[in-house]
Structure 1
Amino acid sequence: MEFFKSAASLISKANFLFPYDLDQKVPLASESVWTLHNGKIKQTGQTCSIFSIPIAARPELTRLAEQSADQLKGIRHPCIIKILGTHKDSTTLYIATEVVQPLSNQLSSLNNYQKICGLWRMASALSFLEEQNCIHGNVQLSSIYLSETFEWVLGDFFLTSSNPDTFKKNFQALNPFTSLASSIVRDLVLHRDFSQVDRIEFTYLVYQVFNPTYTKAVDFSQRENIPANLHNSLKKLISPEPKQQIGISEFLRLGERPGGFFRSNFIVMVDMINKLQIQNPGDCQKLFELLKTYLSFLSSNYVQKRILPVIFLALKSDTSTDASEILFSIASVTNDNKDFEKDFGIPLLSCLKTTNNRVRCLLVNELYKHNDILPPTLTSDDAFLLYCNFVKFNDSKLKFSAILLYSAIAPKISKKALNNDLLRTLALLQNDPQPSIRINSIICLGKISEYLDQHVRIRVLVAALSKSLRDPIADARKAALDVMLATAGYFSTKELATKFLPCVVPLLIDDNESLRISSEEVTQKFLNRIKDFNKGEEDKPIEVSSNSFLNIFFRPSSTPRPKESSANRSIGSSNVQGSNNDEETKGKLANNILAHERSDAAAFDVETEDQLDEEWMQEWDDNEEELSNEVENWGL
C-alpha cells in the first residue's frame, strides 16, 4: 500500500514540475524529426507550440536541438521562430515556441502574393544569419512554419553554426536528413564550400514553393512557375561562375530595390504595416489605397492580428472615411475568428471614448451599417451607455448617426438599456433645438417600439406622440402622425379613442394642407376601428405597409436650407442632396409609401427657421429641470 502511495506521489510531483499543458497534436511533414503539440505555459497561461523529440531515439539531435534553442532565446528577429523555453526530462526534450503550424499544411492554399512575401521573409532571415557568418544548413519546406499571424518564420536551427568545422561535424552526424538539395549539399560540405549551402537550399525551396509536388532533380534553367524577375536573380544566387555569384544579402538587396521582385505593392503594404509606417497623412492614404486593393489576398489571421492594431492607431489621427471603412471591411472577414472580440470589439470601444467627434461620427455610421457582426462587447450595457452620451455633444451629425445606431441595435441590447437608457436618451432628443433631430427621435421611437415591454411602450408612445403633435415644425407633426398610425396596433380601441384621437383632432384645422389631409386619414382610420368595435367585431389592429416611413430618417444639413417649392417637398427629400435633378429625386421618393407633398412649413427661410427654433426653445427650454420633467412625463 505504501508503494502505491509513493508512486502516486512521484507521478503527482512530476506533473507539477512539467511546465506545459499539452493540447491537440499538430500534423507535420513525414521528413520532420519533431512531434508538435499546441499547448500553454502553466506559469503564465500563454498559448504556445511545443516541439518534442525522444532522447533515446535521437541523442545527437537532442543535444544539438537543446543547444540551438538556448542560443535562439536571445534572438528576436521577426522572421525567425521565437523560443519561449525548454524542458528536458529523462525521456524527452520539449521546446516551447510562439504559436506556429507547418507551412506545408497550408502551402497549397496560398496565393502568389503570399508566397513571394514569405520567401522575402526567408531571404531576410538568411541574410541576417549570413551577416553573422552563420550557416543554417537545413533550409527546406519542413523547417518553415506559419506564425499565429500567418507569417513565415524559419525554424529547425540544430545545424546552425558560425564555425565551419562545427557545422561539418554536425551535418555529418545528422546526415540522414532528406530534401531536394541533400545530394548537392553533401558535396558542398565534403569540399568545405560552406558559403553556398544556404544559397542552394534556398533556391530549391523557391522551386518547391511554386511547385509543391516537385520531387525530381531541379533544372535551374527552367522557370517552373517561378515569376520571371525572381528566377533571373535566383540563377545568380547559384551561378557556377564565382564572379557572377551573389550572396543571400545581395539577392535580398536586388529584390528590395524599386521595381524588384521583393518590392511589389503587396510587400510594400506588408512592410508599412510591420513598421507602423503611418506617421503622416501621405503614408496613411497610401496604406489605405493598398489595403483596398490587396485586403482580399491576405490571410484573415494576419488581417486580424497585424492590420487591425494599425488601423486603430491610424484612427487617432486620421479623419478620412477610409480608415473606418477599412476597419469594418476587416471586421466583416474576421468576425468568425478566435479572439475577434478582444482584437476588434474592445479596441473599438476604447477608440470611441477617446477620438474626436469627426472620427466618432464615422465609426458610429459604420457600426450602424455593420450592426449584424458586432461582438457582445459593442452591445453591452456599458457600450450602449457610451452611445447614449454621444447626443450630449453639440454635433447634429453625431446625434443623427447615434439615432440610426439606436434603431439598428435595439434588438441586441438588454432590457435595462432598452427600457431605461435608450428611452431617456430619446426623451432628451425630443427637446433638441434642431428640427431634424426631434423628427428622427420620434421615428426611432416608432422603430424600436416593438422591442419595448408593453406597459412601457403604451406609456412612452402616448407621452412622446402627444408632444410631437404640438411641435411648431410641420414635418415633426407629420412624423408623429405616421408613427401613431404605424404603432396603432399596440393599442386597444379604447386607448386610441381616449388618448390619441383627442391629440389628432386639432390637426384637422392645421394651417398646413398636407397635415390636414394626413390627420383626416388617421382620424378616419381610428373612427372606422371604433365603429367596428362598437358593432361587437373583433378588435383588429390597423394594418400598415411593411414599406413603412419608419425606414426614412431626416439627415441634418450642415448648411442653411434654401427655399424650396412645395412641388418638390416630401418627407424623404431631406435625404437627397440639393444638386440632384427633379427626375432623380422623384425616382427615389416613388418607393416610399408616404412620398406625397411635404408640408408648406418646410418652405420657410433661414430667419423663419431660426425664429421657430427660438419659439421651440421658449416652450421646451433645454435645461436640466425641463429634461427631468420630460423623462418624468414618459414615466421613466
Structure 2
Amino acid sequence: MDFLKSAIGSAIAKGGGLPFSLGDRVDVGDSVWALHNGTKRDDGSACSIFAFEINANKSRLPLAKNAVRKSRTLRHPGVIKVLDTIETEHNLYIVTERVVPLSWPVKRRSLSEETAKWGLYTVASTLKFINDDASSVHGAVRASSVFTSESGEWKLGGFDILSSMKEDDAIIYTYGSSVPDAARYTPPEVVKGGWDTIKRNPLAAVDAYGLGILIFEVFNGGFSGGDQAGKTTNIPPSMQQSYKRLCTANPKLRLSPGHFVEQGKKHGGFFQTPLIRMTEDIESLGLKSDAEREEFINELDNLSGDFPEDFFKMKVLPELLKSVEFGGGGPKVLAATLKIGAKLSADEFNIKLTPAIVRLFGNPDRALRVCLLDNLPSMIDNLPQKIVNDRIFPQMTSGFTDVAPVVREQTVKAVLTIINKLNDRIVNGELLKFLARTANDEQPGIRTNTTICLGRIAKNLGQSTRSKVLIAAFTRSIRDPFVHARNAGLLALAATSDVFTEEDCAVRILPAICPALLDKEKLIRDQANKTLDLYIQRVRKHASTMPATMIPATAPTEANKPEARVGTPNDNSWAGWAISSFTNKIATANGEIEPTTSNGKAADAEIARPASVPRPAKPTPSTQHELLSQTLRPPSQPLNRSMSDRPAPVTHDNGPEEEGDDVFDAWGAMDDDFENDVDGFTAALASSKTTSPVPSSTKAPVVPYDGGGEPDFAGWLAAKSQTKAKNPLSKASTKTVSTNSGATRSTASTAKPRTVVVPKKIDTKPKNEEVDDDWGDAWD
C-alpha cells in the first residue's frame, strides 16, 4: 500500500497527474512557499499554487504541513479561498483562487487612503474571527501574509504557525521563530520571554501587534524594525490613537483587533467610509427597502475613481444585476450597473453584462427602457453587431410606437448611437418605416428630433432611398408649424447638401426653401437664406460646367437656309424678338408669289368652285398690276393665324363704321383660334363672316353672293393643294357697296337675313402637310 502511494506521488510530482498546470513564479518575498500562477485543467480557470519542495526545506516541513491542514479547515470571506491541497512525496501544493501579494502595491505606495482603510478593515475583521471565534493565534501578521484577490479584496494567508490555543502542543510554541524574518516582526514580550508568554497574556496580543505593524507598512511602504512600531508617520489622523494602542509594548494594554474594528465603526470613525459601507451592504441589496436601496445607490455615486475597479467588477456588479432583474432595483441601480460596466473590457462585458442587457430590453418597465437608452452610448462599443441586429433592435422598435412620449423621443435619439451596428436591410427597411411614423408624431419635439436624426444618419442610408426619403422628410419639416422643426429641416438640408444631385437641388429643394424666406420668424428667415445660398452656389457651379447647347450641329443640306431673325440684347422692348420674327416671316412669304409669264400675263389657274358661286369677273389688263400688288387673301382664312398677316380693310368713302365691324370680327376669330381644334376649323370657317373688299380704283363690278348656297371648301382646298396659286377674290362679299359717290350703300340690316349653313362632311381631306403649306402661304 505504501509502495502504491509512493508511485502515485512520484507521478504527480512529475506533473503528469496534477489537476493544474504551473505557470510563472510570483515573487512573494521571504516565505517558505513558492507562489506560481496556474490554470486548472478541468475548466481552464486561473488559480494560484503555493508550492513547497520537501527535500530543499526539510527543517520547515512542519510549518508547511500546518499551513496545509489549517487551509483545509479555516473558512472565512477574509481568508484566501482554497480550491485544493495536494501532498506528494516530494512536494506540497495549496491550490487557491488567483491572488497577488499585497507587498507589491505596498512597496510602490500605490494604495489610496480609502482603499487602504477598506483593506485594513477586512484584515482586522478576519483577525477578530480567528482570535475570538476560532480561539486561535495567527502569529505572523505582516504585509507578506496578505494577498489581493481578482476582485481586489484583501485576503489573509500565511498560516504557517496558525495555532489553536486549546492545543497544548500548538506549533507556534515550538516553531514560532522558524518563520522567515521573524525577528523583525516579533512582539517585544515574545523577544524577552519566548512564545510561551502567549499563555500568560491576552490571546489577541500577538496578532494586535502584527496588525499595528501592517498599518505602518501600508501607509509608509515598509517596516524596518521594532523601533518604528507605534510611530504615526503618514498614518491618518483619525486612526492614530487606536493605532498606537495596537503597538504598545505592554501586551495587556493593547487594543485587540476586535476592539480596533469597533472603534473604527463608531459614528465618525476611521472605518466609516463609503467603500466599507458599500461592501457591507452589497450582499443584502436585494433585501433592502426602496429607501435603503436609494441610499446605497447615492453612496455608490459618491465613490471616487481611485477605488479598486476589480472589486466593482467582481463583487458589486453581479449583485447590482441581481437587484435590477429580480429585486426591483429600478433605473438608479441600473444606471450604477452600466457605469461600472463601462470600465469592463469587451470580453468581460460580453460575459457579465450582455446577457442581462438583452433581457432588460424586453422588460416592460418604461423607466428601465429609458435608462437603457440613455446609457446606450457607454455600452454600444462592447455589444456585438449580431446581438444588436438580432436581439436588441427588434425589442427597441416597440419604443417608436409607445404611448409615452418620453419613450418615443429617447428611442429616436438612440438611433444615432446604434446606427453603425445595424445592417443595411434594417436601416433602409424597418428603421425608415418607424422614423416615418415619428416624423408625423403629435409631439413637435419628436418631429424635430426625427429630422435631426435623419440628417445625422444620411450617410448610412442606401443610395436608392437616400434622396427620396431625405428630400420628402426635410421639405415636409420646413412646412411644420413648430418653429424649431422648421429650423431643423433647414439645418438638415444644409448639412446634407452633398448627398443630393444637382437636379434634385434645382428642381425639388430650392423651390421648397423659398417660402421660408418670408417666414414669420427671423430665425427661420436667416437660416433659409443661408441654406438657399449654399444650394444656389452648388447649382451655379454645376451649371458652369455644362455645355452651351445640346442642339446638334446643322446638317449640310440646311446650311444655306436663312435663319430666323431674333431680337438682340439691344432691344429695349420685351416683345422685340417677336416683332422681328414676325417681320421676317412676312418678308419670306412675300417672296413666294407666283411669277408672271414671259408675255407679262399671270398664269391662270382654274380654281374649283361650286355651281352656286358665279365666276368672278376677269380683271382687265389695266387693273391687273394693281390687283396683284394688293394680293387679297381668300375670305376663308385659317383660324390659327395672327391678325397681323391679314390685309388692311378697304377704306370706303362713306363707311368708317363698317371697318370697325371687320376688326371686331377678326379679334373674335382669333380668340376662337386658341380654343378650336382642326375639326372645328371647318365649321368656324363656314359660319364666319367673309368680306371681299374691292379696291375702289378698279371699279370692278360687284358679284352678288347667294347667302343660302353651300360653300365648296373641299374643292377650294383641293385646288389650293394642286396649284399653290393664290386668288385674292375667291368669293363675293356678303355686303354690297355702292360705287357711286354719295349713294347709300346696302348694309346687313337691309339685306336678306343670312342663314348659317353647316357644311357637309367631305370624305376627301387634304393631307396634313398640304394644310401646313396653306398655313405657311397665308403669311404672304
TM-score, reference length from structure 1: 0.71
| Higher-RCO chain (CA-CA 8 Å, sequence separation at least 6) | 1
Q: Distance in 2 between matches of 1:127 and 1:21?
A: 35
CA offset at residue 155 of structure 1?
Answer: 0.8
CA offset at residue 249 of structure 1?
Answer: 2.6
Q: Distance in 2 between matches of 1:207 and 1:522?
A: 70
Structure 1 residues 246 and 176 mapped into 2: Cα distance closer, same or farther (>3 Å)? closer
- Which stretch has the larger CA shift, 497-506 or 421-430? 497-506
Matched, 1:126 2:127: yes
Q: Distance in 2 between matches of 1:116 and 1:525?
A: 63
Alignment of 1:301-320 (within 5 A): 301-313=310-322, 315=324, 317-318=328-329
Q: Distance in 2 between matches of 1:115 and 1:173?
A: 28
CA offset at residue 307 of structure 1?
Answer: 2.9
Matched, 1:217 2:226: yes
Matched, 1:281 2:290: yes
CA offset at residue 447 of structure 1?
Answer: 0.5
CA offset at residue 144 of structure 1?
Answer: 0.4
**Which residue of structure 2 lines up, in the alignment, with residue 576 of structure 1?**
none
Q: Distance in 2 between matches of 1:522 and 1:363?
A: 36
Aligned length: 525
CA offset at residue 409 of structure 1?
Answer: 3.8
> Is this contact kept in 2: 1:40–1:48, CA < 8 A?
yes
Deviation readout 1:548-579 (Å, 9 max, x if unpaired): xxxxxxxxxxxxxxxxxxxxxxxxxxxxxxxx
**Which residue of structure 2 lines up, in the alignment, with residue 142 of structure 1?**
144
**Which residue of structure 2 lines up, in the alignment, with residue 452 of structure 1?**
461
Equivalent of 1:191 in 194, 197, 208: 197
**Which residue of structure 1 lines up, in the alignment, with residue 442 of structure 2?**
433
Deviation readout 1:23-59 (Å, 9 max, x if unpaired): 3332222x12222222221113332222212121234
Q: Distance in 2 between matches of 1:304 and 1:280?
A: 24
Structure 1 residues 32 and 26 mapped into 2: Cα distance closer, same or farther (>3 Å)? same
Q: Distance in 2 between matches of 1:355 and 1:516?
A: 44
Deviation readout 1:247-284 (Å, 9 max, x if unpaired): 33333333323333333454323322354387123323
Root-mean-square deviation (CA, aligned residues, Å) is 3.8
Q: Distance in 1 between matches of 2:259 and 2:436?
A: 69
Q: Distance in 1 between matches of 2:524 and 2:227?
A: 84
Letter in 1 for 2:136: C
**Which residue of structure 2 lines up, in the alignment, with residue 77 of structure 1?**
76
CA offset at residue 188 of structure 1?
Answer: 4.0
> Is this contact kept in 2: 1:335–1:373, CA < 8 A?
no
Give the secondary-structure state (helix, strand or coil) at the position aligned to 1:166: coil
> Is this contact kept in 2: 1:19–1:87, CA < 8 A?
no
Equivalent of 2:278 in 262, 269, 274: 269
Matched, 1:165 2:175: no
Q: Distance in 1 between matches of 2:375 and 2:281?
A: 25
Q: Distance in 2 between matches of 1:134 and 1:486?
A: 75
**Which residue of structure 2 lines up, in the alignment, with residue 596 of structure 1?**
none
Give the secondary-structure state (helix, strand or coil) at the position aligned to 1:384: helix
Structure 1 residues 26 and 469 mapped into 2: Cα distance closer, same or farther (>3 Å)? same
CA offset at residue 169 of structure 1?
Answer: 6.0
> Is this contact kept in 1: 2:48–2:97, CA < 8 A?
yes
Long gaps (5+) in structure 2: 1-9, 548-780
**Which residue of structure 1 lines up, in the alignment, with residue 40 of structure 2?**
41
Structure 1 residues 391 and 50 mapped into 2: Cα distance closer, same or farther (>3 Å)? farther
CA offset at residue 96 of structure 1?
Answer: 1.4
Structure 1 residues 17 and 299 mapped into 2: Cα distance closer, same or farther (>3 Å)? same
**Which residue of structure 2 lines up, in the alignment, with residue 330 of structure 1?**
340
CA offset at residue 528 of structure 1?
Answer: 5.2
Q: Distance in 2 between matches of 1:306 and 1:299?
A: 11
Identity level (%): 26
- Which stretch has the larger CA shift, 62-71 or 121-130? 62-71
Give the secondary-structure state (helix, strand or coil) at the position aligned to 2:305: helix
> Is this contact kept in 2: 1:103–1:146, CA < 8 A?
yes
> Is this contact kept in 1: 2:141–2:214, CA < 8 A?
yes
Q: Distance in 2 between matches of 1:244 and 1:58?
A: 38
**Which residue of structure 1 lines up, in the alignment, with residue 22 of structure 2?**
22
**Which residue of structure 1 lines up, in the alignment, with residue 776 of structure 2?**
none
CA offset at residue 138 of structure 1?
Answer: 2.0
Alignment of 1:162-561 (within 5 A): 162=164, 163-168=166-171, 171-172=174-175, 175-179=178-182, 180-182=184-186, 184=188, 185=190, 187-193=193-199, 195=203, 196-218=205-227, 220=229, 222-237=231-246, 244-276=253-285, 279-313=288-322, 315=324, 317-318=328-329, 323=333, 326-327=336-337, 329-331=339-341, 334-335=343-344, 339-354=348-363, 356-368=365-377, 370=378, 374-376=382-384, 380-381=388-389, 382-465=391-474, 468=477, 476=485, 478-500=487-509, 526=535, 529-536=538-545
> Is this contact kept in 1: 2:63–2:175, CA < 8 A?
no
Q: Distance in 1 between matches of 2:532 and 2:210?
A: 86
Q: Distance in 2 between matches of 1:509 and 1:183?
A: 92
CA offset at residue 477 of structure 1?
Answer: 5.0
Matched, 1:98 2:102: no
Give the secondary-structure state (helix, strand or coil) at the position aligned to 1:458: helix
Give the secondary-structure state (helix, strand or coil) at the position aligned to 1:408: helix
**Which residue of structure 2 lines up, in the alignment, with residue 614 of structure 1?**
none
Q: Distance in 2 between matches of 1:384 and 1:530?
A: 40
Long gaps (5+) in structure 1: 1-9, 539-636
Q: Distance in 1 between matches of 2:474 and 2:394?
A: 25
> Is this contact kept in 1: 2:274–2:300, CA < 8 A?
no
Letter in 1 for 2:367: R
Structure 1 residues 249 and 523 mapped into 2: Cα distance closer, same or farther (>3 Å)? closer
Q: Distance in 2 between matches of 1:110 and 1:84?
A: 28
Deviation readout 1:328-367 (Å, 9 max, x if unpaired): 55355x2458724434444444434336212321332233
Deviation readout 1:289-309 (Å, 9 max, x if unpaired): 333433323112123223333
